[in-house]
Amino acid sequence: MSLDPVAAFVEGPHREYRERVAAFCRDEIGGRSDPESDAGARVRARELVGSMGAAGLFRPIAEADVRGCLVAREVLGWWSPLADSVFALQGLSATPGLVVGEDPGGWVARALAGDAVGAFAMTEWEAGSDVASMATAAVPEGDGAGHYVLDGGKAFISNAGIADFYMVFASTDPGAGTPGISCFVVPADAPGLEFVGAQVMSAPHPLGEIRFRGCRVPAGALLGEVGAGFRTGMAALDRLRPTVAAAACGMAGRALWEAVQHARRRQQFGKPLGSFQLIQEKLAESATELTAGRLLTYRAAWEKDRGAARITVEAAMAKAFSTEAAQRIVDRSVQVLGGRGVLASHPVEHLYRSVRALRIYEGTTEIQHLIIGGALVRGSSP
């Protein structure tokens, strides 16, 4: 895997950081496969948070260096989808605090040091893309003691059950829609916060459901202003959305690499598999899509790092294209590998299960298309 196609969008520190991340992966991951059980993934995720923090890998998150975050997720995605998700979730749980410039309870600093596992709790069973349908409510306590009481539930929450704290989005004005949503930093041991259970995925990942039953938190747990939670959450997602595309590129890059190695080694009908034109066509399509996705992705991050106020459309393009392309690239790689590509022991089989979720979380492909199309109709430049 090379940064050459995106050389114009990265600088010396990013190349140096890439080598640090790669060295971490060689030392901490090496030939070790991701766990194949939910319980194993939960244990491994907590281990990785600590080791990444000790290695200083979360620095780009703290510094809002989007290209640095891209480098991390592309390299981690190449080596281990679970390690990639660990980095991503620490970023997602810390970034709302970085956006607002507040750190209630010191949880953001602890997350970025690798001393605490964070979770971003926005999604509900009936409120996914439609955030305004959120039912979880936060009501000021009536005794004037300066507390809020949270009631409701969250589903499909990454790190649920292993997190030390949750960035919780709740309605403080149920009739106001998204302007009525506020954000709270809630410790996992807060009375009334319950881990309902794991939601097991095809590619093991610490996902689960949590519930609030009269969960009482101090007013100081409010992040930013009342009613600013949706804006804060969207600003965090805006900053991090290109990193999902980078993870997709990392996974796709690994799948393509495995396919190319196989095409070089495998002999069929007396000659290398890679000498067949139909195999070359698959590899060529994958390489072209991967390069295009990387260029879209690093260009979006470059715009943000050089001072763009918003990169909503650029990030949407990068995520939509790269995640969809990654699915195709991994699928083609399975086809090139043949029977080996569907063996549970093969990394491409694991990638086949892992890459699918990227087209859904942090905004589905369909939502990204609505963002792009809406901007075009309004006359915004792509």
135-188, pLDDT tens digit by residue?
999 999 876 568 999 999 999 999 999 999 999 999 999 888 999 999 999 999
Instruction: Tell me the mean pLDDT in the region 22-27.
Output: 96
Residue with tokens 């399509």: 285
Closest of 338, 332, 337 to residue 355, by C-alpha: 332
Among 80-89, 149-158, 201-210, the least confident range: 201-210
CA distance linking residue 365 with residue 323, whole number of Å:
8
- Judged against a pLDDT cut of 90, whether residue 206 lies above it is answered with yes
Q: Write out the catalytic residue numbers.
A: 362
In angstroms and rounded to an integer, the radius of gyration of the C-alpha atoms of the chain is 21
- Judged against a pLDDT cut of 60, whether residue 1 lies above it is answered with no
Q: What is the mean pLDDT of the chain?
A: 93
Instruction: Tell me the mean pLDDT in the region 89-118.
Output: 96
Which residues, at least 6 apart from 19, have a Cβ–Cβ distance to it below 8 Å? none
pLDDT score of 238: 86
Instruction: Tell me the mean pLDDT in the region 10-23.
Output: 94
175 close to 236: Cβ distance less than 8 angstroms: no
Are 4-112 and 231-377 the same fold in CATH?
A: no
pLDDT score of 189: 97
By the 10 Å C-beta count (0-12 exposed, 13-18 middle, 19+ buried), 298 is classed as buried
Q: 4-112, what's its fold?
A: Butyryl-Coa Dehydrogenase, subunit A; domain 1 (1.10.540)
Which residues, at least 6 apart from 309, have a Cβ–Cβ distance to it below 8 Å? none
pLDDT score of 363: 86
CATH class of 118-227: mainly beta
72 φ, ψ to 5°?
A: -60, -50
Task: Please report, for residues 62, 109, 130, 189, 372, the alpha-carbon distance to residue 46 in angstroms, rounded to integers and kept in the order given.
Answer: 19, 17, 31, 17, 36
CA distance linking residue 10 with residue 66, whole number of Å:
11
Task: Please state, for a pLDDT cut of 70, what percent of the chain lies above it.
Answer: 98
SS3 158: strand
- The DSSP element (H or E) to which 223 belongs, if any, is strand 222-223
Closest of 198, 187, 191 to residue 110, by C-alpha: 187
pLDDT band at 3; cut points 50, 70, 90: very low
SS3 266: coil
Instruction: Tell me the mean pLDDT in the region 53-75.
Output: 96
pLDDT score of 220: 94
Q: 231-377, what's its fold?
A: Butyryl-CoA Dehydrogenase, subunit A; domain 3 (1.20.140)
Closest of 76, 71, 86 to residue 16, by C-alpha: 71
337-357, pLDDT tens digit by residue?
999 999 998 999 999 999 999
Domain residue limits, the chain:
4-112, 118-227, 231-377
Instruction: Tell me the mean pLDDT in the region 120-128.
Output: 92
239-269, pLDDT tens digit by residue?
899 999 999 999 999 999 999 999 999 888 9
Q: Which two tokens stand for residue 219?
A: 């007013």
Q: Which two tokens stand for residue 129?
A: 């893309």
- Judged against a pLDDT cut of 70, whether residue 334 lies above it is answered with yes
Amino acid residing at 290: L
Region of 134 please: left (phi>0), alpha (psi -120 to 50) or beta.
Answer: beta
CA distance linking residue 312 with residue 362, whole number of Å:
13
Q: pTM for this one? A: 0.93
